[in-house]
Amino acid sequence: MELMGCGRFRGCLVLVLFAALLVGLVSGIGVNWGTQLTHPLPSSTVVKMLKDNGIQKVKLFDADPDILDALKKSGIQVMVGIPNDMLYTLANSMQAAQKWVSKNVSAHISSGGVDIRYVAVGNEPFLSTYNGSFKTTTLPALQNIQSALVKAGLGNQVKVTVPLNADVYQSAQVPSDGDFRQDIHDLMVQIVQFLSQNNAPFTVNIYPFISLYEDPNFPVDYAFFNGFQSPINDNGRIYDNVFDANHDTLVWALQKNGFGNMPIIVGEVGWPTDGDRNANLEYAQRFNQGFMSRYIAGKGTPMRPGPMDAYLFSLLDEDNKSIQPGNFERHWGLFYYDGQPKYQLNIGSRNGLVAATGVAYLAKKWCILKPSANLNSDQVAPSVSYACQNADCTSLGYQTSCGNLDARGNISYAFNSYYQVNDQIDSACKFPGLSVVTDKDPSTGDCKFKIMIQTDSAVLHGNGRIWHLRIVLLLCLFFTLLSP
């Protein structure tokens, strides 16, 4: 668990007023709009969906011009992002920073009417899994982007920040023990000081699901907001959920290092719905509604009891995300890939989520294992492996949405996933002697065999798909030659 703190302050009144202004500007919930989908919805469709749901803020992971164009005059506040792989260039070249700001911020504000409020410099750059790759470039990149914003006349209008994972701080027992991680302590203080000097917020991503995922002994109820029966008492402050304890660990870490009044943005918070035994619709609805009920009521944490600024993670499922952290990574969306809501959720403006409109689907057909196919064929394993490597099989596994399928069902799911990702073209259902196209929906119970939406992704990714299909055809030829 982690914490945060407060301390010396030159211009304390200014920061308090800034925090109050920040709260006033961002009363509505925000969402993260990720784009790692094989078949993304049109940006205009997503913007309409955001507005239909009363979502007032969006956090992006880059500065995609198509998305920013769609956000013109939408009334939606925007946080644009700079990917980690750009930090080195921006840290070492003021000219590159100015060019980035001119192209991705100034141009959209001045001519396009895009309400850009923040630039997120990097994304969780100090994750321990990065082995320090971005330690030397994050702060210089942050400084150069800030200077470029000032030079562009946007220093007061657009603020810099660095979305950080909650692993940048830690505590031994209770939130009040909190401080920044030892290996990056001095760097974190430098970053916080720079943010403070520029009236910029600290952005943190908090994931109670990860606590549950990484520790089989973690008390399940402590991950939610329903009143844990064995709360933590930290010098009279009661913590009955891990979100509050984690958040206030950061508050104490800031306070101990002299920045107790720094505004905090919760850059990512949410719960996945598939890909792990604790990732399901019931838990996701329980967590997100619990969080939203508190958010709508303006209830903060014991150390920060007022309204908070937060972005739900995430808007849509992303079937092309890396699954290195876990299969759940592709299932954080409040909505499925096609903009259909997963469950009832009151986010403040309406009683439930509003689906995307005007979504076009491919034909109602699926690729499945032939009823006559031999499961003992030596062609089964490599075919399934190939399909899953080039599509999305993260709904298969122990206690997932498709965890109850038998062997034939698992194979069919893999084949169909590949078939749909490749826009149902005939050659994507040519697994050697194993597959067949059907117009009968093979979905069963909670396990849905998807039909892909119509997009221009076939054109955008055409070359890669052609190579995939060539490999499938080569596999077919190879296994045919091997057959007696």
Catalytic positions are 124, 268
User: Which among 72, 68, 71 has a CA at the least distance from the CA of 103?
Assistant: 68
* Residues in contact with 321: Cβ distance below 8 Å, sequence separation at least 6, in sequence order: 34, 36, 329, 330
Alpha helices in 326-461 (DSSP H): 380-389, 407-421, 457-460
Residue 460, classed as helix, strand or coil, is: helix
CB atoms within 10 A of CB 186: 11
Give 165's strand partners: 205
Number of alpha helices (DSSP H) and beta strands (DSSP E) in the chain = 15, 15
Kindly state the tokens that stand for 164.
């950080």
CA distance 179 to 193: 15
CA distance 59 to 9: 30
- Give the per-residue SS3 of 204-257: EECCHHHHHHHCCCCCHHHHCCCCCCCCEEECCEEECCHHHHHHHHHHHHHHHC
CB atoms within 10 A of CB 190: 15
CB atoms within 10 A of CB 233: 9
Q: What are phi and psi of 161, to 5 degrees?
A: -160, 170
Residue 115, classed as helix, strand or coil, is: strand
Give 252's strand partners: 4
Kindly state the tokens that stand for 7.
């301390």
HSE at residue 93, side-chain half, CA atoms within 13 A, is 12
User: Which among 142, 29, 162, 160 has a CA at the least distance from the CA of 105?
Assistant: 160
User: Which among 132, 135, 124, 118 has a CA at the least distance from the CA of 163?
Assistant: 124
- Cβ(400)–Cβ(327) below 8 Å: yes
Kindly state the tokens that stand for 260.
């107790």
- For strands 57-60 and 30-33, give the pairing: parallel
CA distance 104 to 119: 10
